Structure 1
Amino acid sequence: MDRPAFLRLTPSSQVRSGSGTYRITHEIDLDSVLAVDIATGEPKRLHVHEIEAVVPETSGDGDASATEAAPGKACGDYTDAQWSEAQRRYGFIKPLIDHSLPSKEQIAEVAKRAGVSVSTIYRWRSLFSHSEHVSSLVPGQDGRPVGTRLISPEQEEIIRASIEDRFLQTQKFKPSDVVVLVIDRCKAAGLKPPAAGTVRDRIAELHPALVLRRRGERAKARDTYEPIRGSFPGADTPLAVVQIDHTLLDVIAVEETTRKAMGRPWLTLAIDVYSRMVVGLYLSMERPNANAVGLCLTMAMLPKDAYLRRLDVPGSWPVWGRMAKLLCDNAKEFRGKMLSRACREWGIDPEFRPVKLPHYGGHIERLMGTVANEIRTLDGATFSNPKERGSYDSEGQASQTLEEIERHLVDFFVTGYHERFHHGIDGSPKQRWRLGIQGDGSKPGTGLPDLITDTQKLRLDFTPAEERTIQEYGVALDHVQYYDEVLRRWINARDPDQPKLARKFLFRRDPRDISRIWFFDPEIQRYYPIPYRNVSRPAVSLWEIRAAKAELIRDGRSKIDERTLMEGALRRRSLAEDAREKTKTARREHHRATRLAARTNGDAPMEPAVTPRPAPARSTSLDDIFAEPPPVFTIRPNTNVR
Structure 2
Amino acid sequence: MSDPLPDEIEDVLWDEACRRGDAIRSFLERNPDGATAGDVAELAAALNLSQATAYRLIKLFRAGGTILSLVDRKRGRPQGHRVLDDKREEIILTTIKAYYLKRTRPTVSQLVRDVQTNCISAGFKPPHRRTIVARLEDIDLQQRARRRGEQKIVKATTPVPGTFGASRPLEMVQIDHTKADVFVVDEETRQPVGRPWLTLAMDVCSRMVTGFYLTMDAPSRLSTSLCLLHSVFDKSAWLREREITEPWPVAGLPDTVHVDNGADFRSRAFKRGCQDAGIAIEWRPPGEPRFGGHIERLIGTQMGRLHLLPGTTFSNEQDLGDYDSKRHAALTLHELERYIALDIVGSYHHSIHGGLGRPPIAVWRDHEGEIPLRLPQDRMRFWLTFLPEQERTLRPTGVHLFGLRYWSAALSADVGRSDRRLLVKFDPRDMARIFVRRPSGNFVEARYADLTLPSITLHEAVTARRTLLAKGRREVDTRAIVRTAIAQRELLETATRKTAAARRGTTSSKSKVDDRGWGSLRGVDSSKPVPFVEDAD
Q: TM-score, normalised by structure 2?
A: 0.50
Distance 2:314 2:426 in 1: 37
- Is 1:372 matched with 2:270? no
Residue 535 to residue 487, structure 1, CA distance change in 2 (3 Å): same
**Match of 1:255?**
186
Q: Say which of 331, 355, 358 aligns to 1:427.
A: 358
Give the whole-Å Cα distance in 1 for the aligned partners of 2:364 and 2:425. Answer: 36
Share of identical aligned residues, percent?
39
Aligned amino acid, residue 570 of structure 1: L
Could you tell me how far apart the structure 1 residues matched to 2:204 and 2:321 are?
Answer: 36
1:424 is displaced (CA, Å) by 2.1
Deviation at 1:260, TM superposition (A): 3.2
Specify the SS of the correspondent of 1:268: strand
Aligned to 2:226, the other structure's residue is in SS state: helix
- Corresponding residue SS for 1:395: helix
Measured in 2, the distance between the counterparts of 1:308 and 1:513 equals 15
Report the alpha carbon displacement of residue 483 of structure 1 after superposing the two structures with TM.
6.3
Aligned partners of 1:251 and 1:382 also within 8 Å:
yes
- Distance in 2 between residues matched to 1:479 and 1:310, nearest whole Å: 26
Does the 8 Å contact 2:277/2:376 carry over to 1? no
Structure 2 partner of 1:384: 315
> What is the distance in 2 between the residues matched to 1:436 and 1:332?
34
Paired residues for 1:212-223 under 5 Å: none
Identify which of 219, 225, 228 aligns with 1:297.
Answer: 228
SS of alignment partner, residue 293 of structure 1 = helix
Q: Is the CA contact 1:544–1:569 (under 8 Å) kept in the aligned structure 2?
A: no
1:529 aligns to what SS in structure 2? strand
Say which SS state the counterpart of residue 334 (structure 1) adopts.
helix
User: Which of the pair is proportionally richer in helix?
Assistant: 2
Partner of 2:436: 519
1:459 and 2:383 correspond: yes
Please name the residue that 1:337 is paired with: 268
| Contact residue 493 and residue 503 of structure 1 kept, 8 A | no
Q: Give the 3-state SS of the residue equivalent to 2:468 in structure 1.
A: helix
Match of 2:426 in 1: 509
Q: Which residue of 2 is the match for residue 211 of structure 1?
A: none
Listed one character per residue, the Cα deviations across residues 415-463 of structure 1 (whole Å, up to 9, x for unaligned) are: 221122223223221122122223xxxxxx335x245574433321211
Which residue of 444, 452, 477 corresponds with 1:528?
444
SS of corresponding position for 1:408: helix
The CA deviation at 1:515 is: 7.2
Q: Does the 8 Å CA contact 1:314/1:411 hold for their aligned counterparts? A: no
- 5+ residue gaps, structure 2, are 1-161, 476-537
Q: Which moved more, 1:530-539 or 1:336-345?
A: 530-539
Task: Answer yes or no: is the 8 Å Cα contact 2:414–2:438 preserved in 1.
Answer: no
Question: Structure with the greater relative contact order (CA < 8 A, sep ≥ 6): 1 or 2?
Answer: 1
Change (3 A) 1:572 1:275: same
- Once residues 432 and 574 of structure 1 are traced to their aligned partners in structure 2, the CA distance between those partners, rounded to angstroms, is 56
- Residue 157 (structure 2) pairs with residue 232 (structure 1): no
CA distance in 2 between counterparts of 1:481 and 1:309 reads 28
Task: Report the counterpart of residue 285 of structure 1 in structure 2.
Answer: 216
Q: Distance in 2 between matches of 1:360 and 1:422?
A: 19
Aligned-partner residue type, residue 201 of structure 2: A
Contact 2:178 2:199 (C-alpha < 8 Å) held by counterparts: yes
Partner-residue secondary structure (3-state), 1:411? helix
- Measured after TM superposition, the shift of residue 387 of structure 1 is 1.4
2:371 corresponds to which of 446, 463, 471: 446
- Seen in structure 2, the aligned counterparts of structure 1 residues 231 and 509 have a Cα distance that, compared at 3 Å, is same
Could you tell me how far apart the structure 1 residues matched to 2:247 and 2:214 are? Answer: 20
Match for 2:371: what amino acid? T
CA distance in 1, matches of 2:412, 2:197: 42
TM-score by length of 1: 0.43
1:463-516 deviations in Å (ceiling 9; x for gaps): 12345676777767789886656445556768xxxxxxx756433234567676
In the alignment, is the contact (CA less than 8 A) between 2:396 and 2:415 conserved in 1? yes
SS at match of 1:416: helix
Q: Is the 8 A contact 2:349 2:360 kept in 1?
A: yes
Q: Which amino acid aligns with 1:446?
A: I
Q: Distance in 1 between matches of 2:455 and 2:449?
A: 13
Q: Deviations over 1:191-237 (max 9, x none)?
A: xxxxxxxxxxxxxxxxxxxxxxxxxxxxxxxxxxxxxxx9425x221
Aligned length: 314
Q: Find out whether 1:570 has 2:468 as its counterpart.
A: yes
Counterparts of 2:253 and 2:326, CA distance in 1: 40
* 1:122-521 matched pairs, under 5 angstroms: 231-232=163-164, 235-438=166-369, 445-446=370-371, 449-451=373-375, 454-466=378-390, 486-487=410-411, 489-490=413-414, 505-511=422-428, 517-521=434-438
In structure 2, distance between residues paired with 1:280 and 1:420:
18
CA–CA distance in structure 1, aligned partners of residues 399 and 228 of structure 2 = 30
